[in-house]
Structure 1
Amino acid sequence: MARVKKIPLRMCVGCQEMHPKKEMLRVVRTPDGQILLDPTGKKSGRGAYVCRNVTCLQQAVKARRLERALGQPVSPEVLAALEAGVVS
């Protein structure tokens, strides 16, 4: 009898729905306070997950859920980089 491998799920801060971790984009606040995209999902720091579409990112920013999840304000330059990362 084969064992079924458990798929890790994460909640999107934009749409508030659970999705498989590999399908999501991780945004991380590093210990020194930078906010970056984390394509590997292994950087140290406080992380938040967003679906790979622009509408979820816009919802997260508009409702300030991304700032709340990361624990600090997100600058417009970082948001522009995040939108570029979501589209690509």
Structure 2
Amino acid sequence: MVRQGGQEKPQRSCLGCRETRDRDRLIRFVLSPQGEVLPDLDARLPGRGAYTCASSRCLEAAIRQRLFNRAFKREVSAMQPQAMTEMVARLMRERILGYLGLANRAGKIVSGSSLVCDAVRGKIKPGLVLVAEDVSGSIGEKVVSLSTVHGIPCERVLTKEEFGDILGKAPRSAVAVRQGGFIARLVTEIQRLRNFLGEV
């Protein structure tokens, strides 16, 4: 373990690359009663855990080399690498959507490219702007450029449909999150997804 701020932070080794990292930076996996390897992104499921970096490469290596067998000290059943990485990515996206839903219920969300641009230009600026991955080029570039000019962090993530669904509205090209406690969590989850997909 390592100490930070006087407290010990538990560490674990990644099955894929063998690097030792803080446990909360890794992805935890557990076994179902049927012996299936399942991702436990919240790290709350009971039982012994095995870990990989938040990287699809490390996860794929762990599956191909049958390293979950070694970690759990028994024969286990694991999905094919592509299926498992798709499942983990989907769960990560769901976590981002979950935090957006919480922010929306707290009245912290502005949605739609026009309203987002107005919020960015406004006196009280949002803390984060999200642009849908499938937005048209001109709209996306306008929102990203305006956010950059005003010094507001901007990420391309999720889809217009996903934004609309979680907000209970029609598809949305962009979302702005007002300043508050949701910003740090959202940024962490988005970066984790991008790291996993190898985008950074």
TM over 0.5: yes
- Cα deviation, 1:49-78, whole Å, max 9, x if unaligned, reads 01011111122122221222132233435x
Q: Whose RCO is larger (CA < 8 A, sep 6+)? A: 1
Match in the other structure for 1:22: 24
Matching residue within 5, 15, 26 for 1:13 = 15
State the 1:32 CA deviation.
4.3
State the 1:24 CA deviation.
0.4
Task: Tell me if structure 1 keeps the 8 A contact 2:36–2:76.
Answer: no
Gaps of 5+ in 2: 90-195
- In the alignment, structure 1 residue 76 sits paired with structure 2 residue 79: yes
Higher alpha-carbon Rg = 2
Task: Tell me if structure 2 keeps the 8 A contact 1:26–1:48.
Answer: yes
Gaps of 5+ in 1: none
- Cα deviation, 1:4-61, whole Å, max 9, x if unaligned, reads 1111101111111100111100110034433211112121123100101111112212
- Structure richer in strand, relative to its length: 1
- Structure richer in helix, relative to its length: 2
Match in the other structure for 1:50: 52
Give the count of matched residue pairs: 85
Match in the other structure for 1:67: 69
Task: Could you list the structure 1 runs, at least 4 aligned residues long, displaced by more than 3 angstroms after superposition.
Answer: none
Letter paired with 1:74? S
Residues 75, 5 of structure 1: alpha-carbon distance in 2 compared, 3 angstrom cutoff = closer
Task: Tell me if structure 1 keeps the 8 A contact 2:53–2:59.
Answer: yes
Distance in 2 of aligned mates of 1:32 and 1:45: 13
Residue aligned with 1:33, SS:
coil
Task: Tell me if structure 2 keeps the 8 A contact 1:28–1:43.
Answer: yes
What's the % identity of the aligned pairs? 29
State the 1:81 CA deviation.
4.3
CA RMSD of aligned residues (A): 2.2
